[in-house]
Amino acid sequence: MSNQSENTTHFGFKTVQEDTKADLVADVFHSVAAKYDVMNDVLSMGVHRVWKRFTIDCSGIRKGQKVLDLAGGTGDLTAKFSRIVGQTGQVTLADINDSMLKVGRSKLRDLGIVGNVSYVQANAEELPFPDNHFDLITIAFGLRNVTDKDKALASMYRVLKPGGRLLVLEFSKPLYKPLSKFYDFYSFNVLPKLGKLIANDSESYQYLAESIRMHPCQETLKEMMNSANFEGSEYFNLSGGIVALHRGYKY
């Protein structure tokens, strides 16, 4: 692996040139954008809502604060944050993909969420925000799609205010053998079929399953956060480790 790490990276199980991964990821999300919310509910059997609720509860978010919902996609978290921080606060929904941003923006508009949300097309590796700007950064199911995760973490650290928090919600390593067997079967056999059935796009969901496997496990991600200077890093396993929420502070 080390001999290829210079300029290649993973796209699911495939190894691709670093500069093409972003485009490939973009294709995936362009193609799933319209059906994204439905698929989320179907594929996770609604459980993603509980994971997101847990994330909000761990965020310590308050009225009047500034939040960055990174890789925010269709804006589930943004919607909640917008209501909690209120008119004196500010939520930024950032995503690299303009199809996802568009779907997100029109969804939030329809929900009546206007005034304290702004939409920014941005790459997590090079965030276009000033230093020490946000009280809270969340990245939910986004980090595994990012090509250079260390660079992204460093960039998040830079734009976070001292005293601020980073929350990473991401698929992780199931804690129990039987669970991980079932999970493997589900993600490699059922998931792509469902993807084909509902969104007529099995490849994107094949990619989803593969990218989940290639993502760093709980301890590794915690180490990565520490190396990016985050302090007090910790994680919570959700649904038996299928998903983990990592939390780190900048002091």
Partner 1 sequence: MPLDKLVCGFLETTVNKLQQLDSSALQRRKQLNGTIIGVALKEINKPLYFVISTQQIDILSEYEGQADCFIRLNISALKELQNNHQLTHLIKTEQLEVEGDIQIVQRFARLLTEMDIDWEEHLSVIIGDILAHKLYYEFKQCRKNASLQIKKIEKQSGEYITEELKIAPGPLEVVYFCEQVNDIKKQVDALEKRLQQGFASSNKLTRNIR
Contacting residue, 145, 187, 206, 233, with ligand SAM by CB under 6 A: 145
123 binds, options ligand SAM, partner 1, none, Cβ within 5 to 8 A by partner type: ligand SAM
Contact map string, positions 68 to 87, toward partner 1, x by CB under 8 A? ------------x--xx-xx
50 binds, options partner 1, ligand SAM, none, Cβ within 5 to 8 A by partner type: partner 1
Contacting residue, 76, 135, 170, 201, with ligand SAM by CB under 6 A: 76
Contact map string, positions 77 to 116, toward ligand SAM, x by CB under 6 A? ------------------xxx--x----------------
* 117 phi/psi in degrees, rounded to 5: -120, 135
| Residue whose pair of structure tokens reads 């930024």 in the numeric block | 92
- Measuring CA to CA, how many Å separate 102 from each of 74, 90, 171, 194? 8, 19, 25, 24
Query: d(Cα 174, Cα 180) in Å, to the nearest integer?
Result: 6
* Contact between 50 and partner 1 per CB under 8 A: yes
* Contact between 55 and ligand SAM per CB under 6 A: no
Minimum CB separation from ligand SAM for residue 142, in Å? 4
Minimum CB separation from ligand SAM for residue 203, in Å? 15
Closest CA to 144 of 246, 230, 33: 246
Query: d(Cα 170, Cα 172) in Å, to the nearest integer?
Result: 6
Query: d(Cα 209, Cα 204) in Å, to the nearest integer?
Result: 9
The total of other beta-carbon atoms located within 10 Å of residue 109's CB is: 11
